[in-house]
């Protein structure tokens, strides 16, 4: 379980923060109020003609070696859709049109890296993958594989929010 608030000092004046749970930091000197909010991310259910889901193997920490859906953090000035399309291009070397995206819903998660714990809010999209798509894993993706919905190895998935989403999206009898 992550700690709710990690930051100790005010980014404006450098004085100490008072922590007001669950997510407010109040400066003791300049009265800056600093709210901790989730970072936006995107992820994609990329489905091949056999109705299998593309999973990627994470190359880096956190959760190195575990399975994930392609996607990542949204950049400054990007829309969610632009971030989604860019991540797919960077990680898999394929171009998905924004018009081909279907928005499925959102998930929340914890993301710890270094000594900082954070939270994410993730927009989940779906797109169909053509049979002749030429995928080249790159960036922070080590490898990829296709898995049928009934065979998703939930214990190997990197993030809890994604597990919860997939279990709802593909209910098992
Ligand atoms: Zn301050």
Q: Which residues span the domain enclosing 22?
A: 1-36
Cis status, amide bond into 22, omega within 30 of 0: yes
Distance 2 CA to ligand 1 centre (A): 25
Whether residue 43 sits in one domain with residue 27? no
State the total domains in the chain.
2
Q: How far is the CA of 167 from the centre of ligand 1 (A)?
A: 44
87/151 same-domain check: yes
The alpha-helical segments, DSSP class H, found in 1-127 are: 80-92
CATH number at residue 129: 3.90.79.10
CA distance 157 to 102: 22
Beta bridge partners of 35: 24
Do 165 and 130 lie in a common domain?
A: yes
**Do residues 19 and 47 share a domain?**
no
> 61 and 123, same structural domain?
yes
Ligand 1 geometric centre to CA of 23 (Å): 17
Show the tokens assigned to 79.
Answer: 């829309």
Strands (E), the chain: 17-20, 24-27, 33-35, 39-47, 53-58, 67-68, 71-73, 102-113, 116-128, 141-147
When computed from its CA atoms, the radius of gyration of the chain, rounded to whole angstroms, is 18
Same domain, 63 and 29: no
Q: How many residues does the chain have?
A: 173
Q: How far apart are CA 93 and CA 73, in angstroms?
A: 17
pLDDT of residue 172: 82
Average pLDDT on 113-118 reads: 72
Both 43 and 31 in a single domain? no
Does the pTM surpass 0.95? The reply is no
- Predicted confidence (pLDDT) per residue in 37-77, tens digit: 999 999 999 999 999 999 999 999 889 999 999 999 999 99
Can you give the pLDDT at residue 116? Answer: 67
- Is the pLDDT at 2 greater than 60? The verdict is no
d(CA 159, CA 139): 19
Cα 9 to ligand 1 centre (Å): 8
Question: Considering only CA atoms, which of 141, 155, 161 is closest in space to residue 64?
Answer: 141
User: Do 132 and 57 share a structural domain?
Assistant: yes
- Mean local confidence (pLDDT), 155-170: 95
Checking if the pLDDT of 115 tops 90, the result is: no
Domain co-membership, 90 together with 161: yes
61 and 106, same structural domain?
Answer: yes
Average pLDDT of the chain? 92
132: three-class secondary structure by DSSP: coil
Looking at the fold, whether 100 and 137 belong to one and the same domain comes out as yes
Expressed in angstroms and rounded, the spacing between residue 10 Cα and the centre of ligand 1 is: 5
Kindly give the distance from the C-alpha atom of residue 11 to the centroid of ligand 1, in angstroms, as a whole number: 7
Same domain as 54, residue 20: no
Q: CA separation (Å) from 122 to 15, 71, 88, 119, 150? A: 33, 9, 15, 10, 23
- In percent, the amount of the chain with pLDDT more than 70 equals 95
CA of 8 to the centre of ligand 1 (A): 11
Question: What residues have their beta carbon closer than 5 A to ion ligand 1?
Answer: 10, 12-13, 15, 27, 29-30, 32
Q: Is residue 19 within 8 Å of residue 27, measured between CB atoms?
A: no
- Give pLDDT, residue 22: 84
């Amino acid at each position: 379980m992550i700690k709710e608030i990690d930051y100790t000092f005010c980014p404006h004046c450098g004085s100490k923060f008072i922590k007001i749970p669950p997510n407010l930091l109040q400066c003791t000197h300049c009265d800056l109020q600093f709210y901790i909010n989730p970072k936006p991310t995107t992820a994609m259910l990329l489905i091949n003609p056999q109705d299998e889901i593309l999973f990627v193997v994470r190359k880096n920490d956190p959760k190195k070696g575990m399975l994930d859906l392609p996607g990542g953090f949204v950049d400054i000035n990007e829309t969610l859709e632009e971030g989604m399309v860019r991540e797919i291009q960077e990680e898999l070397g394929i171009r998905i049109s924004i018009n081909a995206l279907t928005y499925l819903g959102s998930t929340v998660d914890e993301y710890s890296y270094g000594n900082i714990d954070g939270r994410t809010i993730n927009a989940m999209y779906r797109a169909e993958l053509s049979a002749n798509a030429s995928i080249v894993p790159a960036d922070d993706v080590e490898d990829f594989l296709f898995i049928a919905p009934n065979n998703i190895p939930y214990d190997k998935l990197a993030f809890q929010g994604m597990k919860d989403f997939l279990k709802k999206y593909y209910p098992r009898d």
